[in-house]
A and B are shown apart, each in its own frame.
Chain A
């Protein structure tokens, strides 16, 4: 039995409206590769963010080599030897490989004069990469490297900074199969060198291949921990999924719909999704399930015209649309609620009324001038109807809570009277109450005849809303099935493998 390097005891973490971690105990042994799995929202990322000092825990204790550890930020975590190899790489694209590896540690390659020796930096960087088994030109610019190579640079940087514990969060998400194999080799080499590794992934076959032990999280708790060789993939899925579906309930799925509203045929975009066909009807809520990196968000960005697909067609109510134009889609009665509300959804400097009515001004125009009294009275109607909590509709939208902002965005498309609404993770980061309200609103819209697409990485949300469920995995269509309680495990299996 090797000794424990890192241990968490009874960690609890609350966010407004949700419990993210509930009494979590986790141990990492020296020199092991420890897999951490669970559905989105199970608490894996929160736990890791606490280990590297991004979040503070509310209760519990972290022991590093038996000593209580407190880290306030990622820098302090790094000083203690804990480093995250992030999903989105945090390198400086315009600098060279060698410079990136030694960022923050330039002093290691100083000359006697106190100036940095570039020759020394490059030789040093080359040696580290060689040890990792990577042949990358250290004088190359990071921007021109592949994701895989950038990842290696990121690992090298962690090692230079003195990392003893490396956390890999979905490291293979954007790698090819061969690149993944090389990464696994690297991870095994790190293990041989005595490093301890936490490995987070949705790819259960990878977990089987790479890890020594596996911890499974569900609903903010650890539900299982064992040697990886003692647990089958089916058992992993069972632990991840067996759960709260009964609690929130499955929707009584509709089987008869109205006319076809959206028809997508053979849509492809290089490296994002391939040959996707499906349709959505009046009164129907189509749930789209898939993991991060499955290409579902990208697919619907292309459907709505934010990006232009390489090939394939999109038709709305029988009319084939010129792809790549949001204006055309809106004209045909399609609305889109983006995943990242703050980045793509709201206009922070405009008030609630304008955020709601910005797409509908043409209706309120007389001789080219907008009649604002009418705009405001219409906005007030939606404010009442959707129970949007704001002192006045003239308040800036950035002062509203996430749930209320989302209601404003939904009202935007209701005011526009759209026939089809595409919602990308409509309740992410929103508290439980508002989530319930938004769910009932979505169902009501479908009852009133709208066609609705709900993209979600939360199985719970899909099962609560969808009539039919479309599953995607790594950019490929994996099937459309009816929403019944019995097939959730199938859906998860389809999405995971």
Chain B
């Protein structure tokens, strides 16, 4: 018995030694899976496969970065996918239906995304409503508007000149959406780690009452957090329109749950105050790798959800055990 425990301790310590953070563990697992799949299929680490993979996950990771900020602040944003869809419709209508320059259309769509997010934030902070309920409701409204306005029909005719941003690749290898995703990642990381707003987000999520006492403008921070989430959701939506060269009503359909999953896989806490965007990046990549591996291994894609679900359970269980141990230790 005692020996069992010692062995377990050593195993855990090794795991902690190489990890330090949840993000690095998840990243490590991602690499290991990739290598195993590469050796069993011979086709994982190809320019084409890796390029496709990171383009696929870029959209969800952009959304998930916003979701991470919201989760750290102690809230949740269930409207991200719908804001994405709303803004994809807006940008498509502006590009195909008006004469304004394309870049202006994109900026307007992004601003509208931020504005819709701010609306969430205002309801949540001023009226002290639950973020879950507010964003559930507004999300439903936004997506409803998309169906009403478009009648469920796609908007086509995005010119190649701008669609290149969604479709093209740098050096024929790195898709532009992936580059944009990495740029956003570094900006969000900088904001969270190095700005007063970012640190106040952590303070707010960790202890809202104390945040008020130390002079965090709680309401303002909440509005900012949901605006950023809306802005990033909009960015993903716009990018998807450029990728498809058209706007579809079902854009973003599969973004919401993966955005939360990526954040949680990366160690972000659902109860606020804890989380890192590099974890979210690693979490998003892991989900992409699982999906790609299942395809490469020729397993039915229905299995993807089962595997992802199991990985999430495993990840949070490991975290909970670690948490319990560190609490006991102190």
Q: Are A326 and B212 in contact (CB under 8 A)?
A: yes
**B199 contacts A by Cβ under 8 Å:** yes
Q: Are B273 and A348 in contact (CB under 8 A)?
A: yes
Q: Are A347 and B190 in contact (CB under 8 A)?
A: no
**Residues in B191-207 with C-beta less than 8 Å from chain A:** 194-196, 199-200, 202-203, 206-207
Measured CB to CB, the nearest residue on chain B to A359 is B214
Q: Which residues of A contact B217 (CB under 8 A)?
A: 327
B-contacting 9-mer, from A195-203, A220-228, A279-287, A365-373 = A365-373
Q: Are B194 and A346 in contact (CB under 8 A)?
A: no
Q: Are B194 and A370 in contact (CB under 8 A)?
A: yes
Q: Are B207 and A327 in contact (CB under 8 A)?
A: no
Q: Which residues of B contact A370 (CB under 8 A)?
A: 194-196, 199
Q: Are A344 and B203 in contact (CB under 8 A)?
A: no
Contact of A326 among B206, B213, B273, B274 (CB under 8 A): B213
Q: Chain A's nearest CB lies how many Å from the CB of B251?
A: 33
Q: Which residues of B contact A369 (CB under 8 A)?
A: 190, 194-195
Q: Which residues of A contact B215 (CB under 8 A)?
A: 326-327, 330-331, 359
Best-buried of B199, B212, B215 by chain A (most CB within 10 Å): B215
Q: Which residues of A contact B211 (CB under 8 A)?
A: 347
Binary B-proximity of A301-318 (CB < 8 A = 1, otherwise 0) = 000101000000000000
**A159 contacts B by Cβ under 8 Å:** no
Q: Are B209 and A347 in contact (CB under 8 A)?
A: no
Q: Which residues of A contact B200 (CB under 8 A)?
A: 358
Q: Which residues of B contact A365 (CB under 8 A)?
A: 195-196
Given A358-B199, A361-B199, A370-B194, are A349 and B212 neighbors across the interface (CB < 8 Å)? no
**B15 contacts A by Cβ under 8 Å:** no
**B330 contacts A by Cβ under 8 Å:** yes
How many of B's residues come within 8 Å of A, CB to CB? Answer: 22
Binary B-proximity of A337-355 (CB < 8 A = 1, otherwise 0) = 0100001111111100010
**A476 contacts B by Cβ under 8 Å:** no
Q: Are B213 and A336 in contact (CB under 8 A)?
A: yes
Contact of B330 among A336, A362, A399 (CB under 8 A): A399
Q: Which residues of A contact B195 (CB under 8 A)?
A: 365, 368-370
Size bracket, chain A contacts: 20 to 34
Binary B-proximity of A395-406 (CB < 8 A = 1, otherwise 0) = 000110000000
Give the CA-CA distance A267 to B190 in the complex, in Å.
Answer: 44
Q: Chain A's nearest CB lies how many Å from the CB of B23?
A: 16
Q: Chain B's nearest CB lies how many Å from the CB of A486?
A: 37
Q: Are B274 and A343 in contact (CB under 8 A)?
A: no
Q: Which residues of B contact A361 (CB under 8 A)?
A: 196, 199
Q: Which residues of A contact B274 (CB under 8 A)?
A: 349
Give the CA-CA distance A347 to B214 in the complex, in Å.
Answer: 11
Give the CA-CA distance A343 to B207 in the complex, in Å.
Answer: 8
Q: Which residues of A contact B35 (CB under 8 A)?
A: none
Q: Are B194 and A344 in contact (CB under 8 A)?
A: no
Q: Chain B's nearest CB lies how many Å from the CB of A316?
A: 14
**B210 contacts A by Cβ under 8 Å:** yes
Q: Which residues of B contact A349 (CB under 8 A)?
A: 202, 206, 273-274
Measured CB to CB, the nearest residue on chain A to B214 is A359
Given A344-B209, A359-B214, are A350 and B190 neighbors across the interface (CB < 8 Å)? no
Q: Chain A's nearest CB lies how many Å from the CB of B196?
A: 4
Q: Are B214 and A343 in contact (CB under 8 A)?
A: no
Given A327-B217, A361-B199, A370-B196, are A346 and B210 neighbors across the interface (CB < 8 Å)? yes
Give the CA-CA distance A326 to B218 in the complex, in Å.
Answer: 10
Given A369-B190, A369-B194, A398-B330, are A344 and B202 neighbors across the interface (CB < 8 Å)? no
Q: Which residues of B contact A330 (CB under 8 A)?
A: 214-215
Given A358-B214, A368-B195, A369-B195, are A350 and B202 neighbors across the interface (CB < 8 Å)? yes
Q: Are A306 and B213 in contact (CB under 8 A)?
A: yes
**A13 contacts B by Cβ under 8 Å:** no
Q: Chain B's nearest CB lies how many Å from the CB of A407?
A: 16
**A473 contacts B by Cβ under 8 Å:** no
Q: Chain A's nearest CB lies how many Å from the CB of B20?
A: 13
Given A326-B215, A327-B217, are A362 and B210 neighbors across the interface (CB < 8 Å)? no
Q: Chain A's nearest CB lies how many Å from the CB of B148?
A: 38
Give the CA-CA distance A369 to B197 in the complex, in Å.
Answer: 10
Measured CB to CB, the nearest residue on chain A to B269 is A349
Best-buried of B199, B203, B210, B211 by chain A (most CB within 10 Å): B210
Binary B-proximity of A115-126 (CB < 8 A = 1, otherwise 0) = 000000000000
Q: Are B206 and A350 in contact (CB under 8 A)?
A: yes
Given A361-B196, A370-B195, are A412 and B214 neighbors across the interface (CB < 8 Å)? yes
Give the CA-CA distance A354 to B274 in the complex, in Å.
Answer: 14
Give the CA-CA distance A306 to B194 in the complex, in Å.
Answer: 28
Q: Are B210 and A344 in contact (CB under 8 A)?
A: yes
Q: Chain A's nearest CB lies how many Å from the CB of B274?
A: 5
Q: Chain B's nearest CB lies how many Å from the CB of A274?
A: 25
Q: Which residues of B contact A368 (CB under 8 A)?
A: 195
Measured CB to CB, the nearest residue on chain A to B274 is A349
Q: Are A350 and B330 in contact (CB under 8 A)?
A: no
Q: Are A345 and B210 in contact (CB under 8 A)?
A: yes
Give the CA-CA distance A326 to B215 in the complex, in Å.
Answer: 6
Q: Which residues of A contact B203 (CB under 8 A)?
A: 347, 350, 354, 358
Contact of B206 among A304, A348, A359, A372 (CB under 8 A): A348
Give the CA-CA distance A61 to B97 in the complex, in Å.
Answer: 87
Best-buried of A326, A327, A349 by chain B (most CB within 10 Å): A349
Q: Chain A's nearest CB lies how many Å from the CB of B68?
A: 15
Give the CA-CA distance A359 to B216 in the complex, in Å.
Answer: 8
Q: Chain A's nearest CB lies how many Å from the CB of B210?
A: 5
Q: Which residues of B contact A347 (CB under 8 A)?
A: 202-203, 206-207, 210-211, 273
Measured CB to CB, the nearest residue on chain B to A348 is B206
Give the CA-CA distance A370 to B192 in the complex, in Å.
Answer: 11
**Residues in A321-341 with C-beta less than 8 Å from chain B:** 326-327, 330-331, 336, 338
**Residues in B68-118 with C-beta less than 8 Å from chain A:** none
Q: Chain A's nearest CB lies how many Å from the CB of B156?
A: 41
Q: Are B190 and A338 in contact (CB under 8 A)?
A: no
Measured CB to CB, the nearest residue on chain B to A398 is B330
Give the CA-CA distance A3 to B207 in the complex, in Å.
Answer: 52
Q: Which residues of A contact B216 (CB under 8 A)?
A: 358
Besides A345-B213, A369-B195, 17 new A-B residue pairs in contact (Cβ under 8 A), listed by A number:
A306-B212, A306-B213, A330-B214, A343-B210, A344-B210, A345-B210, A347-B203, A347-B206, A347-B210, A350-B203, A350-B206, A358-B200, A358-B216, A361-B196, A362-B196, A372-B194, A398-B330
Closest 7 CB pairs of A and B: A330-B215, A347-B206, A349-B273, A361-B196, A369-B194, A349-B206, A359-B214
Residues of B within 8 A of A (CB): 190, 194-196, 199-200, 202-203, 206-207, 209-217, 273-274, 330
Q: List 18 A-B contacts (CB under 8 A).
A: A326-B213, A344-B209, A344-B213, A345-B213, A348-B206, A348-B207, A349-B206, A349-B273, A350-B203, A354-B199, A358-B199, A359-B214, A361-B196, A370-B195, A370-B196, A370-B199, A398-B330, A412-B214
